[in-house]
């Protein structure tokens, strides 16, 4: 893990560690239920012991931010995995199979890109009702095309590599070649792209919540930003603090991923194996 030596990588990792700690120990750090109407509404930050103040119904913004971390991390990671699953499989199959299957899968990828994300989101959410699972599905449906395109490009580059041809000659099955030879070599850039998609997933979730398409029973940062939007002038803290938390966690994920992929490209160019 040499990329830790780079300052940005280190900061990124520390940030992610804090985020995970926040998410895992949310109910210890903030035992109060974030939805509980405990105090006077619209208390300014630090007033009456509420470090981030309270929102229009008197709910503790700090508890919201802490519990929000849990939702964002869970949705971020889960939808990145789902995106990866769809994207990588589509990319590998299209890249390796070639011919009409490749054309068909590429057309589908293009189609998913042309359809505006919002239409896709509303169709799925109004069909199945907004809850954690459907939101993860929606985010995955919106963000898998770029991953598929990357996976396809990597596979096509590796397909004609000599060790792949040797494997074919030795009678290895397509599946064994895909999983044994192609996937391990295509993994590093894909891992970098997928970790980036964790950050975008968190942003997309907050955008959906902002537009009112989020899950009403979960306290997420996007929901808090959206709910505080109309009271920006009197109660800026309702929107500001979840926004800052959202931005910091996305920033840290990007820092860590950036350091990892820089280190990766450096290692590859040094070895000059490509």
CA 7 to chain centre: 23
> What phi and psi, each to the nearest 5 degrees, are found at residue 28?
-80, -45
Using the structure block, give the residue that is written with the tokens 């891992």: 191
The rounded distance, in Å, linking the Cα atoms of 203 and 143 is 12
Q: Residue 129 or 133: which CB sits closer to another protein? A: 129
> Quick one: 183 exposed, middle or buried, by C-beta within 10 A (0-12, 13-18, 19+)?
middle
CB 13 within 8 A of CB 256: yes
Q: Residue 28 or 271: which CB sits closer to another protein? A: 271
Return the residue of 69, 194, 214, 263 that touches another protein, per CB under 8 A. 214
> Quick one: 257 exposed, middle or buried, by C-beta within 10 A (0-12, 13-18, 19+)?
buried
Size of the site for another protein (CB under 8 A): 80
Using the structure block, give the residue that is written with the tokens 């890109």: 113
Segment contacting another protein (CB under 8 A): 23-31, 69-77, 82-90, 207-215? Answer: 207-215
Return the residue of 17, 46, 104, 232 that touches another protein, per CB under 8 A. 232
Q: Is 57 in the site for another protein (CB under 8 A)?
A: yes
Closest listed residue to residue 132, CA positions, set 217, 36, 35, 21: 217
Site map 99..138 versus another protein, x via CB under 8 A:
--------x--xx-xxxxxxxx-xx--xx-xx--------
Q: Residue 100 or 170: which CB sits closer to another protein? A: 170
Segment contacting another protein (CB under 8 A): 18-26, 43-51, 70-78, 245-253? Answer: 245-253
Q: Is 227 in the site for another protein (CB under 8 A)?
A: yes
Site map 167..206 versus another protein, x via CB under 8 A:
xxxxxxx--x---xx--xx-------------x---x--x
The rounded distance, in Å, linking the Cα atoms of 114 and 107 is 10
Q: Is 246 in the site for another protein (CB under 8 A)?
A: yes
Q: Is 212 in the site for another protein (CB under 8 A)?
A: yes
Q: Is 49 in the site for another protein (CB under 8 A)?
A: no
Q: Residue 51 or 247: which CB sits closer to another protein? A: 247
CB 252 within 8 A of CB 16: yes
């Amino acid at each position: 893990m040499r990329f830790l030596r780079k300052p940005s990588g280190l900061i990124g990792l520390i940030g992610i560690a804090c985020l995970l700690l926040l998410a895992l120990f949310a109910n210890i750090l903030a035992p109060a239920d974030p939805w509980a109407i405990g105090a006077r509404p619209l208390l300014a930050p630090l007033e009456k012991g509420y470090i981030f103040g309270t929102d229009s119904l008197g709910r503790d913004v700090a508890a919201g931010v802490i519990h929000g971390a849990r939702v964002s991390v869970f949705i971020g990671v889960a939808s990145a995995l789902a995106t990866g699953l769809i994207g990588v499989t589509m990319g590998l199959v299209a890249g390796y199979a070639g011919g009409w299957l490749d054309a068909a899968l590429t057309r589908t990828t293009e189609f998913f890109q042309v359809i505006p994300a919002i239409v896709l989101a509303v169709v799925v959410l109004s069909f199945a009702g907004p809850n954690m699972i459907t939101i993860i599905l929606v985010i995955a449906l919106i963000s898998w095309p770029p991953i598929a395109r990357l996976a396809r490009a990597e596979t096509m580059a590796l397909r004609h590599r000599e060790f792949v041809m040797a494997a074919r000659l030795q009678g290895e099955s397509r599946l064994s070649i895909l999983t044994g030879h192609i996937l391990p070599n295509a993994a590093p850039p894909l891992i970098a792209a997928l970790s980036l998609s964790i950050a975008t997933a968190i942003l997309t979730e907050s955008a959906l919540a902002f537009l009112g398409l989020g899950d009403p029973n979960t306290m997420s940062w996007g929901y808090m930003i959206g709910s505080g939007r109309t009271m920006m002038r009197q109660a800026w803290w309702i929107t500001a603090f979840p926004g800052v938390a959202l931005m910091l966690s996305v920033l840290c994920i990007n820092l860590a991923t950036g350091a990892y992929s820089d280190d990766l490209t450096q290692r590859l160019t040094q070895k000059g194996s490509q």
